[in-house]
Structure 1
Amino acid sequence: MENVWDYPRPPALEPVAKSVRIDFAGRTIAATGAAFRVLETSHPPVYYLPREAFTGCALEPAPGGSFCEWKGAARYWSIRVGDRVAERAAWSYPDPSPAFAAIRDHLAVYAGAMDRCFVDDEAVTPQPGGFYGGWITSDLQGPFKGGPGSMGW
């Protein structure tokens, strides 16, 4: 069992030894055994998949951006499969800080915007709230930042 309160701040980046899969619009749009995850105190891990893992969809640049004090400037992506679009459902760091250079050309996806996301064959639960993009698996203990009353944590 991993407790998210044992994760570091500043966050850590580590390769994932498990398969990661994303399903949207009735199909698998991304799958890889070469993902990374970011571990930050109070947050479930955020999974970053290599761009080339996204073979079952179109990635379209989306408006806006954000800034992470650890990773740098993020850009957003919409995910399209036919007529179905998940607006601003993914983000990436085109020029990440040196500590996060390994996730250049990788994308993270909001699990709640997809049909289902999986780590190995376990369907994940999206991190609460609309801002953070962590994926909750059965081997994690919280409480998790993102729910009501947790913004000041």
Structure 2
Amino acid sequence: MAGNLIWFLLIGNVVDLLSVTDDLGRAGPANAASGMAVHDDCKLKFLELKAKRTYRSIVFKIEEKQKQVVVEHVGEPAETYEQFTEKLPADECRYAIFDFDFLTPEGVQKSRIFFIAWSPDTSRVRSKMIYASSKDRFKRELDGIQVELQATDPTEIGLDVIKSRAS
């Protein structure tokens, strides 16, 4: 796991350097987010989840050709955690938000907003690089994230992990 993190950091810096030129080789602004814009719908859906609890989850995808992060899926308020994790592809990277409800040991109902950086081992190296180098900027656009998880396989985002990180 630590080796993967070092790999992502090194590759992320290379991607940042490569993003200084566009597809035609023209110089452009270097961007710590590898040139990925965030579609307004991403921020809108997140605000609706956070403030109105309109959704239980949101899955985001980077559209490489459009160079932007877009909403791929929203989960209705009744969606379970298992239904949410089924929406994460086995071999492609994604960002995801899940609003997790739980009871404290004192019996108080609470919720935590989780940000999940999903980067399965079986996904393409280029995709892992782009998602890793774009993550921090994307997260800054979503004010109100309470817990962050980085996962490469389903065991790292199991319900037991979520419960342990919620309190």
Where on the TM-score scale, by shorter chain, does this alignment land: which range? Answer: under 0.3
TM-score (norm 1): 0.26
Specify which structure has the higher proportion of strand: 1
* Higher-helix-fraction structure: 2
Greater RCO, 1 or 2 (C-alpha within 8 Å, sep 6+): 1
